[in-house]
Amino acid sequence: MAHPTRTGPGTGTGTAAGPGTGTGTAAGPGSGTGTAARPVTRPAAGPAARRAVVTGGAGFVGSHLCDRLRAQGTEVVCVDNLLTGSLDNLADRAGDPGFTLRRHDVCEPFDVDGPVDLVVHLASPASPHDYARHPVETLRAGAHGTHNALELARRKGARFLLTSTSEVYGDPLVHPQPETYWGNVNPIGPRSQYDEAKRYAEALTTAYRTARGTDTVIVRLFNTYGPRMRPTDGRAVPAFITQALAGRPLTVAGDGSQTRSLCHVDDTVAGILAAAAAGHPGPINLGNPAELTILQLAHRIRALCGSASPVEFVERPGDDPSLRRPDITLARTALGWQPAVGTDPGLAATIAWFARRPVGVGA
């Protein structure tokens, strides 16, 4: 497939920073102004699921999804082996009779008693440090884990929703990235275990839909941030926040000109639920189309923290994307969804959450 010349901001050599070896998949919405996207009314495209299975439900995004599902009255079965998830993320579910945690590796077959209306497959190491530390487990989650979750949905006659990623676009040559873009991915590079796991998961999900009639949905999540991120997971937002709060230098890899588009976790979860209700097969981008360079993000977080920390430039990791910004036209038209949380309010709330945490908790 021919690729047009890359356009848009952030064609420099910088990359997201994290403490230590962070490969920084985080970013920030906005062009430096922090204005919120215009909120829209989210349609009731279908009834809420009565009973849902969420793989990876003890993780960052998964735990927020479990909370939102319970808030709308959906019974939730969370399946997680806690490789990268945390029981701390599920503290609000303690004693909840409508929530069940099953400690199980989704790479091994599993079943759930009783009816299931919705299966959401999030289980996978998803942060740069996690998939670098667990490359085989990451690929297995994309292959065996996706297969087992799809089989559960097929047996139960449930809708299956795969949370894929903007990483399927690699280091894009098209900007912003529409769902029709095939990507520019290094299949054996330092990020390949995550990128290729998700690309395979999308292909398998599509095959189940076309060959086996499974009701499937694919969403591609862009750079989600918010409370419950781990401070040392290699992403820029938690790295910058913990560094700024501690008065340490904010480590920006490269020259910081690479861009990301941050979407607050509340908006991401709202998009997942909208996609689950609408049933559009996708893939559908879920992200904030506003864009910040990583250096702008560092300055923004430092200011919101009231920190005097200096910025320190470090070596850029290999294969780090120079650009990341979603085209969310399909999400707007098919789901009636777009992000509503502004940059500064979202970052401020995230900073406040980190400030309440003991140093090192969740690392």
Single out the catalytic residue among 131, 169, 181, 194.
194
| 268 located within any domain | yes
| 257 located within any domain | no
Residue 2's alpha-carbon distances to 11, 27, 104, 183, in angstroms, are 19, 28, 43, 11
| 361 located within any domain | no
Of 62, 3, 6, 38, the residue nearest 268 (C-alpha) = 62
Instruction: Express each pLDDT in 165-185 by its tens digit.
Output: 999 999 999 999 999 999 999
| 194 located within any domain | yes
Distance CA 243, CA 19 (A): 8
Domain that includes residue 275, residue range = 51-228+264-290+325-342
| 162 located within any domain | yes
Other CB atoms within 10 A of residue 140 CB: 19
| 172 located within any domain | yes
Residue 284 belongs to domain with CATH number: 3.40.50.720
Of 122, 123, 58, the residue nearest 86 (C-alpha) = 58
Q: Is 194 a catalytic residue?
A: yes
| 251 located within any domain | no
Across the 363 residues of the chain, what is the mean pLDDT of every consecutive 10-residue run?
Answer: 38 33 34 35 55 98 98 98 97 97 98 98 95 96 99 98 97 95 94 97 98 98 97 93 97 95 98 96 97 97 97 92 95 98 96 84 40
Based on C-alpha coordinates, what's the Rg of the chain?
Answer: 19
Q: pTM, whole model, 2 decimals?
A: 0.86
| 149 located within any domain | yes
In total, how many domains does the chain have? Answer: 1
Instruction: Express each pLDDT in 220-261 by its tens digit.
Output: 999 999 999 999 888 999 999 999 999 999 999 999 999 999
